[in-house]
Structure 1
Amino acid sequence: MDLLLLADESEEMINSYIHKGSFLILEENNQQAVGVILLLHEDDKTIEIKNISILEQFQGKGLGRLLIKHTEERVKLQGVERLIVGTANSSIGNIAFYQKLGFRMYDIRKDFFLDYPEIIYENGIQAQDMIMFKKLLN
């Protein structure tokens, strides 16, 4: 749960989806979990990256990119054609990260983060809307 809370600040929200998905866990040599990605099947051809997080001391080393690339390879073998992921309008680093990996913006879920129990601020900006990205895997 601690790793998931790095990417989603609401334990209540995590509990609403944690048992619906599948995990890939990135471990260090001493078998400490340093990263996790939680995937939800939207339909036969679409998987949503519901949560991806890397321990702070391991961030900036390409591990998030590695997790996503590995996920792409695995799900393509299952016939999945697209990955989708959402991030807050205030998550400037995440917005750049997904675009660098080939994801394109396709939707905005207005007021998504206003339903969270606590107000979230990142980069001096209130998280209000969820920006949705998709990547075609063909």
Structure 2
Amino acid sequence: MVKRRTNVLKVHITASKTQDIPLELLLLADPEEAAINQYLDRSIGYTLTIDGEVIGAVLLLPTRPHTLELVNVAVYEAWHGRGYGKQLVLHAIQSARELGYRVMEVGTGNSSLSQLGLYQKCGFRICGIDTDFFVIHYDEPIEENGIPCVDMIRLRLLL
């Protein structure tokens, strides 16, 4: 009998100073540095590391009493499709509950098909549309999945 050796990856999600999260990682989820800079210092950050290497991050922004907005969820492309984005979202939800928040909101582009699926699988429900959000607030046009990203789809989860 041949014994197989399996590599067990050490995955950890920990609270992180937002300034220590790599900008190139955050830019994967929000393509404009100016937009990131508007919320970075006011956010609560968590990073997902594998064997000590940062491969993903999530930022939560307190917006109103008892409400947090999930403003950035990013995983390096080489690690896509392995469930790490979902782990980050679920960790954010649990952390928000532990911190006493009652509502979590998130906005994503109309063309962000996998993100829309992820958030709904994690319990979020569509609650609105910010028409022309990306046309108004971003300098460069965005396209994903062959679809122009123009509207922000708003989702909410009661904690």
Q: Which runs of 5+ in 1 are unaligned?
A: none
The question of 1:77 aligning with 2:98 is answered yes
Q: Does 1:13 align with 2:58?
A: no
Normalised TM-score (structure 1): 0.94
Q: Which secondary structure state, in structure 2, belongs to the residue aligned with residue 76 of structure 1? A: helix
AA matched with 1:117: D
Of 118, 124, 129, the residue aligned with 1:108 is 129
Q: Which runs of 4+ in 1 moved over 6 A?
A: none
1:7 counterpart SS class: coil
RMSD of equivalent CA atoms = 1.0
Q: Which moved more, 1:34-43 or 1:72-81?
A: 72-81
Residue 44 of structure 2 corresponds to which residue in structure 1? Answer: 22
Question: What letter corresponds to residue 99 of structure 1 in structure 2?
Answer: Q
TM-score normalised by L of structure 2: 0.82
- Please name the residue that 2:69 is paired with: 48
Larger CA Rg, structure 1 vs 2: 2
1:129 corresponds to 2:151: yes
Distance (whole Å) between structure 2 residues aligned to residue 87 and residue 21 of structure 1: 17
What count of residue pairs does the alignment treat as equivalent?
Answer: 136
State the match for 2:20 in structure 1: none
Cα shift at 1:44: 2.7
Q: What amino acid is the match of 2:66?
A: K
Alignment of 1:84-95 (within 5 A): 84-95=105-116
Q: Which has the higher contact order (CA 8 A, sep 6+)?
A: 1
**Equivalent of 1:67 in 70, 77, 88:** 88
**Structure 1 position 116, deviation (Å):** 0.5
